[in-house]
Amino acid sequence: MFLVLSLITCSVYIIYLIFKKSKNLPPGPPIYALPLFGHLLHLGKHPQETLMKWCQQSKSDIIHCYFGQQLVIVLNNYSLIKEAFMDDNYSARAQPFIFEEHFHGGVTSEQSLGERWLIHRKFAMDSLKKVGMGKLFLQDTILDELTDVFSSIDKEEGEPLNIKGLLTHGLSNIICSFAFGQRFSQDNKKFRHIGKKFLKLRRRKVNLQQWTVYMLRKWRHFPTSAINRDMRFWSP
């Protein structure tokens, strides 16, 4: 009897944490969120299309949904997205606790985290200036890579194109210009292979145990063996 009551109490508490309402939230999708998983299981194979459909059904360009316990605000309008990118108040974003644990509260080069990120950026730029890599060098390098990307797009003559590989190649070349003083062309098969492996690594799937701990932040201090194994694998 005690076990049943405990399970019911925990279930009610978890549901309350996930679905507690806020007066300032935009409308949500026309689908109820599931306990623990939120709306994750409703996204399907093409989540971006599902989110756009929810915006249409809600008749709003701003909606909210839950990825596990994490509240997510979805923008489906060019002007709103532009405003969010240009406003410093939106520069910080939530990150999984596993990143906080792994980087000890720090930031990575891919994350935009408001004031903390600006401090890291200023330190990096000051350090680069001391070795002769100022704004002019950075600007010229980025313009060269953009020219190469635009040239590759023009070669497609208006045909549909997934530019993820081109952007990854360009960003990697900017880093290589800083680190090695050289860039690699689009025809370099070895460099393209490394880029594909990097994208594949980023899409690495996690198992159910990891998602459970990710969604239940309150339980992160009780890691499973799978979490411990992955933390040891990714630790430098």
Average pLDDT across the chain, whole number: 73
* pLDDT value at residue 30: 84
Structure tokens at 125: 């730029």
Quick one: tokens of 89?
A: 């108040």
Q: Which two tokens stand for residue 229?
A: 């194994």
Identify the top-confidence range among 75-79, 118-122, 195-199, 203-207. Answer: 75-79
Residue 123 has a pLDDT of: 80
Helix 208-215 × helix 225-234 angle, to 10°: 90
Q: Provide the pLDDT for residue 180.
A: 78
Residue 115 CA to residue 217 CA, distance in Å, equals: 24
Q: Would you say residue 196 has pLDDT above 70? A: yes
- Whether the per-residue pLDDT at 128 is higher than 50: the answer is yes
Q: Which residues pair with 64 in a beta bridge?
A: 73
For a pLDDT cut of 70, what percent of the chain falls above it?
62
Q: What percent of the chain has pLDDT over 90?
A: 1
Note whether 176 and 182 are within 8 A (CB). Answer: yes
Model confidence over 208-221: pLDDT tens digits?
A: 455 555 555 555 55
Dihedral pair phi/psi, residue 11, rounded to 5°: -65, -45
**pTM for this entry:** 0.51
Residue 97 pLDDT greater than 60, yes or no: no
Confidence class for position 109, pLDDT limits 50, 70, 90: very low
Beta carbons within 10 angstroms of residue 107's beta carbon: 17
Residue predicted with more confidence, 168 or 2 = 168
Tell me the average pLDDT across 122-138: 71
pLDDT of residue 127: 74
| Helical segments of 163-218, H only | 164-180, 189-202, 208-215
Q: Residue 64 and residue 27: Cα distance in Å, rounded?
A: 6
Q: Is residue 38 a contact partner of residue 66, using CB atoms and an 8 Å limit?
A: yes
The reported pLDDT for the residue numbered 188 is: 82
Q: Is the pLDDT of residue 86 over 50?
A: yes
Q: CA triplet 149, 205, 63: central angle to 5 degrees?
A: 75
